[in-house]
Amino acid sequence: MGKLIVKNTKLQDVKLITPAVFGDNRGFFTESYSDRDFKVAGIDFDFIQDNHSLSTQAGVLRGLHFQRGKAAQTKLIRVVTGAVLDVIVDVRKGSPTYKQWEGYLLTASNHRQLLVPKGFAHGFVTLTDNVNFLYKCDNYYDAAADGGISFKDPDLAIDWPIDLDQAITSEKDAQQPTFAEFEQDNPFVYGEI
């Protein structure tokens, strides 16, 4: 089929992927995932779980989440309806981009996918109503290994495109620790996960 366009980002090991899209007056067709094509492009992960979330309103903020230890996950993220600003933070001690964040616009129309390696905290804010957000994981979810960092952390200073006091979020996400609190017991070391 078509070629994947794979771009490195400013964050170490993170890739922005755009698959070939074939459109006409009926709509479009794309191979959203082909193990063969991804491996040819140097993206070689054994994705074993697919997750799907629906956010019904603009302004829903989910994150920043990660899985600790052996439950750490690499994620391949895409949006199939609506639009999000997807934000990740490198939490791997010793990484050249440690404690840096970057945001990526993922929409149904741009077809971009984001490869988020193990050792990144991940979150997103919906920019439209009715966002269907899908992601593949190379490890199963483990509730005991669940972790997070506050999306409001002033040290990270993430430039969210909404008023954070108006964000629609879960009680759990509203009470996540700051990066400084997380850093005291940070289990992620660059090159060891």
Query: For this structure, is 65 an active site residue?
Result: yes
In this structure, the dihedral spanned by the alpha carbons of residues 177, 150, 67 and 32, taken in order and rounded to 10 degrees, is 180
For 185, counting Cβ atoms within 10 Å of its Cβ (0-12 exposed, 13-18 middle, 19+ buried), the class is: exposed
Distance, CA of 158 to CA of 51 (rounded, Å): 25
Q: Which of 52, 65, 122, 141 is catalytic?
A: 65
Which has the closest alpha carbon to 83: 104, 102, 101? 104
Q: Which of 104, 111, 135, 140 is catalytic?
A: 135
Contact call for residues 14 and 100 (beta carbons, < 8 A):
no
Query: For this structure, is 135 an active site residue?
Result: yes
Distance, CA of 174 to CA of 168 (rounded, Å): 10
Annotated catalytic residues are 65, 135
